[in-house]
Amino acid sequence: MQYSLGIDAGGTYTDAILVRDSDRLVVTSNKALTTYPDLIEGIKNAIDGIDESYLEKVKLVSLSTTLATNTVLEDTGYPVGLILAGDHNVEKDFPTNDILFVSGGHDHMGEEMAPLDVESVKHFVQRVQDNVSAFAVSSHFSIRNPEHELRVKELIMKLTDKPVVCGHELSQDIGAYERSVTAYLNAQLLPVGKHFINAIIAEMKRRRMNARLIMLKCDGSVVGIRDALERPIETIFSGPAASLIGASYLAEIGTCAVVDVGGTSTDVSMLYENVPDLSDAGAVVGGWQTKVKAIHMETSAMGGDSHIWTKDKKVYIGPRRVEPLCLAAVKYKGFLEKLKRTVVPSRRLFDENIQPTKFFVRTEHEIVDLTENEEMVLSVIGSDPVSFDEMSTVLKKPPSSFVLSSLIKKRLIQAIGFTPTDVLHVLGEYDEWNSEASKLGADVIAKLNNTGKYELSASLKKRFARNMAFGLMSYLLPGVDGSGIEMIVDGKFKAKFDVEVPVVLLGGPVIAYKDDVRSFINAEVIVPDHAEVGNAAGALFGKGIKRIEIMIKPESVNNPDRDFFVFSPDGRLKFDTYVQALSFANDHGRSLTYSYMSECGIRESNVNVTVTEKHVSPEGWRHPPMESKLTFVGVGII
C-alpha cells in the first residue's frame, strides 16, 4: 500500500493530510501552529501527528507554503544585482540600488535595436559580485528575442559562480518593467528556496521517507523540485491556490466558488472545470507588480484571528491579526488568572492597541534598528503576556500605541486579543482551546457596549458571515459598484443574490458559518469533510498545468505571403511559409508541454493538451494572418 502526503504551511496553521493512493481516500490529517521565521519546525510538528507506520510508505510529498510571499513582504530576501538592457524607463522604482542600464535590446519583431554593451556589463558584475547573491537580467522585448539576456547570463557565469535569472525564462507577456521586477524577486528568493527545500528533503530522509517532492504554484499547478529551485517566485500565494484545488477535490466538484477562511484573511476564488480562474495582470506582492501567473482572488482582512476591539461604543473586527485569548490561555501558564483581573484603561485612550482584552508577548525575532522609545517598551515585554496597564505601571507612563504598532510590524512582539475564533468558543460552536478565556474577553467588551457576551458574540458571528457573502458577491460581480452589492447583501431591498455555482467553505470551524452565509445569499453552500485541512489537500491534488504561448508574424507587411517568424519561449525562428510556421508552432508547443510534464513526473498518457488559436488580420485581408497566437494548456494528473 502506498500513500501521498500533502502539507500546507499557512499564516496561522500548518496542515498535513495523508491520502491512500489506490483510491485517494483521506486516511488521517493533523494541524500544528505555523512557526516563524523558520517554517520547518511547524511542518515537523504537523507531520508528527501522522502515524509513523504510514510515513515510510509515502511515495509523494507535495507542499504549499507562505515562504516566498513572506520573504518578499518582509523584504528579507538576498541582495541581487539587476542588469537591464535596452529601452527601460529609468524613472521607475526598482527594488535594488545595484542596478545597471546598458544599451541593447530588441524591437517587437525581435530585431536588435542596439548592440549589447558587453564591457559595461563586465565592469558592473566585477564591481558588485561580492555584495550580491545572484543576478537578474531583463532585456527589452526578450520575449521576442532573448539573445541579449542569454549573452549576459553566459558572461556572468564565466565571471562568477552566482546564479543568474533571465526575464524571458519567467514570462512571455509584454511588460518590460514588470518582467524585470519578476526576475529580480525570483533571484533574491533563490537562496531562501534552496535552504527550505534542502531542509524538507533532510527531514524526509530522517523519517525514512523515500518519496518524490513537488510544490504547488500560485496558479494551482504543481512544479517539480528543479523548477521550484529555479523559479521560487512562482510559489507566492500558493496557499490560496491550494484552497481552490483542495475544495474541488474534497467536495468532488470541478466548477465552484471557494471561500477560504484563514487566520488573517478571507479569500474568495473560483475554479472552472478543474482549472483555476487566473488574474490577467499577474500577482502583486509587496507592492510590486509581477508577471507571475496567479489565481484571481478577492481578499478581505477578516480572518479567524482578526482582532475584535472597541472604541466609542462601536465594535471593530480587524484588520490586524492577534493570537486568540482561548489559545493564549492554553499556551501561557497563569494567563487565565491574569485575564480575570483585567483592568480597563481610560476609554479616551482606546484604539486597536490599547484595549482591556489585549496583551503582548515577546517573540524570538532578531532585534534590529530600534528607537529609544521602542527599546524602552520592549524591555518590559517578556515571554509571559503583559497588558497595557502592567506596562504603564512599570514604565510609570502609558506606552505609545505608535511604538507598540512599530514593534508588531517588526515582529518583535506578538499581540493577543479577542477574535472570531473566541466568538465561536463563547457560542459553543468550537471548543479547540479554552472557552473560559473567550467568555471572559467577551464579557469585558460586551459591558463596554451595554450588552451581554452572548448577544455580542452572536452579532459578531453574523457580521463575519456577512463579510464572507459580500466578498463572494464582489468576486462574482466584477465591475459592479460595491455599495450596490452591499445594500443587496444587507437586505436593503426585497431581493437576494442567486449564486448559480456551488460555494465551498474551507478553514477551521467554517461549518459554524454555513447557515449564516445562506441567510445572506441563495446558494448551495458546501462544507466538505476535512475542510479544516483543505489547503493541505490542495497541495497534494494540484494538477500539472502548463500554459505556453507561441506567436507567428510575417517578417514584412509588404510581402505577407513569405517569411514568417515564430516567437516561442525558446526564442525566434524563421520559416519560408505560414504553413511551415504553423506546423512547427503546433508541434513545438505540444513538445514543450509534454517535456515540462515529464519533469514533474507526469506520464504523457496522463496529460491532456488543448490548443486555442487566435488570428488577427485587417478587414478584406487575403493573405495569411498578420498575427497568429497559439495558446497551449496542458493538464496532467499526478
pTM (2 d.p.): 0.75
* CA 340 – CA 355 distance, rounded (Å): 15
Specify if 341 maps to a domain: yes
**Does residue 293 contact residue 307 with C-beta atoms inside 8 Å?**
no
Using alpha carbons, list the distances in angstroms from residue 106 to 138, 559, 573.
11, 22, 15
Q: Which residues share a beta bridge with 269? A: 258
- Give the count of beta carbons closer than 10 Å to the beta carbon of residue 604: 14
- Report the relative pairing of strands 359-362 and 386-387 from DSSP bridges: antiparallel
Domain count, the chain: 2
- Domain range for 564: 544-636
What does the CA dihedral 179, 183, 189, 193 come to, rounded to 10 degrees?
Answer: 100
Domain end, chosen from 424, 453, 482, is at 453
Close Cβ partners of 9 (under 8 Å, ≥ 6 residues apart): 34, 39, 42, 43, 63, 64, 65, 66, 67
> Which parts of the chain sit beneath pLDDT 70?
37, 74, 543, 638
Segment 505-547, tens digit of pLDDT:
988 889 999 999 999 999 999 999 888 888 888 887 776 777 8
Residues 552 and 418 in one domain: no
Q: What angle do CA 518, 243, 179 make, to 5 degrees?
A: 125
Q: Which residues of 327-345 are buried (b: 16+ CB within 10 A; e: fewer)?
A: bbbeebeebbebbeebeeb
- Backbone φ and ψ for 133, nearest 5 degrees, come out as -100, -15
- Backbone φ and ψ for 131, nearest 5 degrees, come out as -105, -5
Specify if 404 maps to a domain: yes
Specify if 168 maps to a domain: no
Specify if 78 maps to a domain: no
Residues 335 and 442 in one domain: yes
Residues 312 and 447 in one domain: yes
Cell 426585497 belongs to 494
Nearest Cα to 21, choosing from 6, 34, 4, 33? Answer: 4
Close Cβ partners of 467 (under 8 Å, ≥ 6 residues apart): 266, 300, 302, 317
Q: What is the pLDDT of residue 87?
A: 84
HSE, CB side, 13 Å, CA atoms: give it for residue 432: 18
Specify if 518 maps to a domain: no
* CA 170 – CA 176 distance, rounded (Å): 12
Domain end, chosen from 417, 435, 453, is at 453
Specify if 200 maps to a domain: no
**Does residue 381 contact residue 413 with C-beta atoms inside 8 Å?**
yes
* CA 113 – CA 87 distance, rounded (Å): 9
What DSSP element (H or E) covers 461? helix 453-476
Domain end, chosen from 398, 431, 453, is at 453
Specify if 598 maps to a domain: yes
Q: What angle do CA 327, 328, 329 make, to 5 degrees?
A: 90
**Does residue 116 contact residue 169 with C-beta atoms inside 8 Å?**
no
Specify if 614 maps to a domain: yes
Q: What is the pLDDT of residue 283?
A: 78
Residues 423 and 548 in one domain: no
Q: What is the pLDDT of residue 74?
A: 67
HSE, CB side, 13 Å, CA atoms: give it for residue 38: 10
Distance of CA 638 to the CA centre of its chain: 22
Q: What is the pLDDT of residue 238?
A: 81
Q: What is the pLDDT of residue 67?
A: 78
Nearest Cα to 2, choosing from 265, 317, 212, 221? Answer: 212
DSSP helix/strand/coil, 616: strand
3-state DSSP percent of the chain in helix, strand and coil, to 5? 40, 25, 35
Residues 447 and 549 in one domain: no
* CA 104 – CA 106 distance, rounded (Å): 7
- Give the count of beta carbons closer than 10 Å to the beta carbon of residue 108: 13
* CA gyration radius, the chain: 27
Nearest Cα to 475, choosing from 523, 507, 513? Answer: 523
Q: Which residues share a beta bridge with 309? A: 316
* CA 34 – CA 332 distance, rounded (Å): 17
